[in-house]
Structure 1
Amino acid sequence: MRIMGLDFGTVTVGVAISDPMGLTAQGIETVHYVEHKKNLLFDRIGELIQQFDVESVVVGLPKDLIGTETERAIASRGFAKSIKRKFKIPVDLWDERLTTMAAERILIAADVSRKKRKKVIDKEAAVLILQSYLDKLRMEHRTND
């Protein structure tokens, strides 16, 4: 069972996919889009869902440091609803607080240049969103056993 993680931004969407056992997240790509041509974004997401045989999706939900949802959260909720409707698969929202900052730190520690970081930051944030979601699922599974 593969799960797709998405970091939905204003002009890019970071994409990550789990391994078939749902243990680890791998960054796939950063999809660039224009607001008035979102159909192209959904086309690409659909291709990736089919290519990787994705069974569910998790979309990052932006919140501020005290847990209040931001304006981007409203857009992310709408995006998640569209994915669920278009692809007929389960979609969860996941608190993505500080994932972009954490992704930035990881890339800096790996000595990735500022120019290259800008190109991959959303994909790395999607990895962090998906990995934390997978870890939660694993913890729940252990608790239920």
Structure 2
Amino acid sequence: MKKLGLDLGDRSLGVAISDELGFLARGLTTVFYEDNQYEKGIEYLKQLLLKEKIDTIVLGYPKNMDNSLGIQAQKSIEFKETLERLFNIKVVLWDERLTSKLARSMMVSQNLKKKKRKQDIDKMAATIILQGYLDSLG
């Protein structure tokens, strides 16, 4: 079974998927939508879950550096609950501190143009989130 990695933002949802064995994560896409209008992202996930055998969704959990929870973390909790309710699937919250910064620096080191980086930053962050989870499974 495969696993999905998600990086939830106010205007986009980065999506990554694992291989069948759960060793490697690869970026799939970034779904863009209007401010906090997650329906487009949810519809994309619905179609993906119908097509792929997914047993777990790993959702980025943006804690503050002092380990406290802010507004974005609360949005992730609510999105997790929505996904569990709609799709009856296991959703794991995964600490995503510094993933966007890491994704940005990786993309800069690959000499990607600014427009391409902006377009793919959330997909790359979702990949980093999912790979961190996969690595933790041993």
**TM category, shorter:** over 0.9
1:113 maps onto 2:116 in alignment: no
Partner of 2:14: 14
User: Which residues in structure 2 correspond to 1:1-145 (within 5 Å)?
Assistant: 1-35=1-35, 37-138=37-138
Equivalents in 2 of 1:108, 1:131: separation in Å? 20
C-alpha separation between the residues in 1 aligned to 2:53 and 2:39? 20
Aligned counterpart, 1:142: none
Cα 1:71–1:108 change in 2 (3 A) is same
What letter matches 2:128 in structure 1?
L
- Structure 1 unmatched ranges of 5 or more: 139-145
| TM-score of the pair, normalised by structure 2 | 0.95
Of structures 1 and 2, the larger Rg is shown by 1
User: Which one-letter code corresponds to 2:50 in the other structure?
Assistant: Q
User: Quick one: which amino acid aligns to residue 111 of structure 2?
Assistant: D
| Corresponding residue number in structure 2 for 1:143 | none
Distance 1:36 1:106, change over 3 A: closer
Q: C-alpha distance in 2, partners of 1:90/1:101?
A: 27
TM superposition shift of 1:98: 0.1
1:106, 1:37 → 2: CA distance? 29
Unaligned stretches of 5+ residues in structure 2: none
Tell me the alpha carbon deviations over residues 88-141 of structure 1, each in whole angstroms, 9 at most, x when there is no partner: 010010000000000001000000011110000000000000000000112xxx
Q: 4+ runs of 1 displaced by more than 4 Å?
A: none
**Are the structure 2 counterparts of residues 102 and 133 from structure 1 closer, same or farther at C-alpha, using a change threshold of 3 Å?**
same
Deviations 1:6-30 (A, max 9, x none): 0000000000000000001000000
Give the whole-Å Cα distance in 2 for the aligned partners of 1:101 and 1:40: 26
- The SS at the match of 2:137 is helix
Normalized per residue, the structure richer in helix is 1
Q: CA–CA distance in 2 between the matches of 1:36 and 1:3?
A: 24
- Whichever residue aligns with residue 92 of structure 2, its letter is D
Greater mean deviation of Cα atoms: 39-48 or 110-119: 39-48
Question: What's the CA shift for 1:40?
Answer: 2.6
